[in-house]
Amino acid sequence: MNQTTKIINQAKKEGRKALLEPEAKTICLEYGIPVTKFKVASNQKEASKYADEIGYPIVLKIVSPDIIHKSDAGGVIVNLRTSDEVTSAYCKILDNVKKYKAEAKIVGVLVQEMAPNSTEVIVGAIKDPQFGQTVMFGLGGIFVEVLKDVNFRIAPLSVDDAKEMITELKAYPLLKGFRNTPPADIDALVGILCSTSRLVMDNPEIKELDLNPVLAYQKGAKIVDARIILE
C-alpha cells in the first residue's frame, strides 16, 4: 500500500477529517510535489538535531489535530538561525499553544527548512458536488482575497489546461517577470498543477486541498504549507 492510502486510512480510523501538515506534505512528496524539507520532533533535543540535519534558517510549527490555523495559536516561528534559537522556540511554541487551547493534543513540533521569499501562488482543489474534483490556481495575498483572480479547471487536467490556468490570470504578467520581480518557473507550476490533479483523482475521499503559499522561484517552486481535508 502506498503512503497516501496509509495516511488517509489512519486519519479515518482516528476519526480525523483534517490531515496534519506533515501528513499532507508526505502525500505531496509521493506525488512529486516539492515541499520544504521537514521532520517531526518529540522533544527539544530532537528538534535541534533535525535542524542541524536540515540546515539553517529553520521554521518550527506545532503539529496538533486541534490546531488548524497554526499561526493564530502562536504555533509558527520562522527564521531560527542557531541550535539555541531552535531549542528556545520549541518551548515557546508549546507555551503559546497551551495558552491558546489548553486541551489541544500535541503530536510534536515540525522542524522545517525555511524557504526564501519569492512570489506567492496558491494551488487548491475542491470536490464539487456536481463536477467532481476541481483544481484552482491563483497568486497569493490580495490577488485571491481581494481581486478573486483565480482560475478553476475540472480534473483531470491536461498540461494545456494547467498552462491556461496560469496564463489566463489577470496577474500573469507578474509571473512573467515585472520590474523587480524575476520571472517564475512556469513549467514547475504546471507540474504542480498536474500532480495535484492526479493526487485528487486517485483519492476521491479528498474533499479539499490547499497548498498555500507555494513560493514560485526562477527555478522550481516550493510548498510551504499544505492542508488536506477528507470527506
**Is 53 in contact with 39 (CB distance < 8 Å)?**
yes
Shortest distance (Å) from residue 71 CB to ligand ADP = 3
Site for ligand ADP in 67-106 (CB under 6 A): 69-71, 76, 78
With contacts defined by CB under 6 A, name the span among 24-32, 65-73, 131-139, 169-177 that binds ligand ADP.
65-73
A 10 A CB-CB count for 99 gives 10
DSSP 69: S
Contact by Cβ (8 Å): 198, 156: yes
Position 115 contacts ligand ADP (CB under 6 A):
yes
* Residue 228: CA count within 13 A, CB half-sphere: 23
Please say which residue, 48 or 119, places its beta carbon nearer to Mg ion.
Answer: 119
Local structure of 156: helix, strand or coil: coil
Q: Is 201 left (phi over 0), alpha (psi -120 to 50) or beta?
A: alpha
Tell me the C-alpha distance between 172 and 139, whole Å: 9
Residue 178 DSSP code = B
Contacted entry of ligand ADP, Mg ion, none for residue 115, CB cut-off 5 to 8 Å set by kind: ligand ADP
Query: Minimum Å distance from CB 161 to ligand ADP?
Result: 27
Nearer to Mg ion, 15 or 116 (CB): 116
Cβ distance to ligand ADP smaller for residue 153 or 222: 222
Q: Which of 89, 94, 34, 92 is nearest to 58 (CA)?
A: 89
59 makes contact with ligand ADP (CB under 6 A): yes
Looking at the DSSP bridge assignments, the partners of residue 113 are 58
- Chain residues binding Mg ion by CB under 5 A are 225
Least distance CB 226 / Mg ion (angstroms): 9
Joined together, the cell numbers standing for residue 105 give 493534543
Find the shortest distance in angstroms from Cβ 5 to Mg ion.
25
Q: Which range touches ligand ADP (CB under 6 A), out of 63-71, 126-134, 144-152, 178-186?
A: 63-71
Whole-number minimum distance, CB 117 to Mg ion, in Å? 15
Interface residues with ligand ADP (CB under 6 A)? Answer: 36, 59, 61, 69-71, 76, 78, 112-115, 213, 224-225
